[in-house]
Amino acid sequence: AVVRQPVAARPSFLPAVTTPKGAASPALSARPSFLPEAVSSGNRTPEPTAVEPLVASSSLYASVSLPPPDFTGTWRMTGYEGDIEEVMAAAGAGWAVRKLARGMKYGVGRAVQDIEQEGNRLTIRSEVGPRVTTMRFRVGGGRQETESPDGSRMLVEPEWRGRSLHMRIFDIEGRPLPTTSRIMEGTGMVIETSAASGRWVRRFFAR
């Protein structure tokens, strides 16, 4: 059997409809076409249909990630900015080494990095004057032992941070050294080195 719902009382915010004396009461207006018909079955009234919000899920954006940059190539240092002497001292370079570096303009026009990259595996061959060193590591592989630019052994923890190759560096006994971040800026490569004191230096390279 169809159960008819009682007509709800007129809301208080609608004006009352007055009927002139002797006139017939106005009929209830038909249901607007944009409203669905209310259908009842037995004593149960259908639950209202939920409306999905027109908002894109944040998981859609979380799943979108840019590929890491490709540093493959031969790079020559073209300049720098920042406090390079302080950062070198924080990295353990003595006075004699810093004096030699100063005489070579800190590698501007001389320092060369030859980089081979296959996915997360990088090999960086660094050449400054007569010294040639090779650093090998896997990004995301945790703490690894490799060769430092001065030829000594060191520990690195490389990881991708967006489009940056971030690397925490330690001496062979685990004491922290200045960290580096390697990024691409246009067609050039930038290596930013930051010491715990807040001093930093940015070195610029071109292929």
Average pLDDT of each block of 10 consecutive residues along the chain (207 residues)? 53 53 51 52 51 40 71 98 96 92 95 97 93 96 95 96 97 97 97 97 98
Q: Assess contact for 199 and 87: CB atoms under 8 A.
A: yes
Distance in angstroms (rounded) separating the CA atoms of residues 25 and 184: 80
Distance in angstroms (rounded) separating the CA atoms of residues 51 and 45: 18
Edge-first strand listing for the sheet containing 144-147: 131-138, 121-128, 112-118, 73-82, 200-206, 188-194, 176-185, 164-171, 153-161, 144-147
pLDDT for res 91: 94
pLDDT for res 132: 95
| CB neighbourhood size of 124 (10 A) | 20
What separation, in Å, do the N-terminal and C-terminal C-alpha atoms of the chain show?
Answer: 84
pLDDT for res 23: 53
Q: Which two tokens stand for residue 97?
A: 């080494």
| CB neighbourhood size of 116 (10 A) | 13
pLDDT for res 57: 37
pLDDT for res 8: 52
Distance in angstroms (rounded) separating the CA atoms of residues 10 and 141: 71
Amino acid letter at 146?
Answer: T
DSSP 127: E
pLDDT for res 99: 94
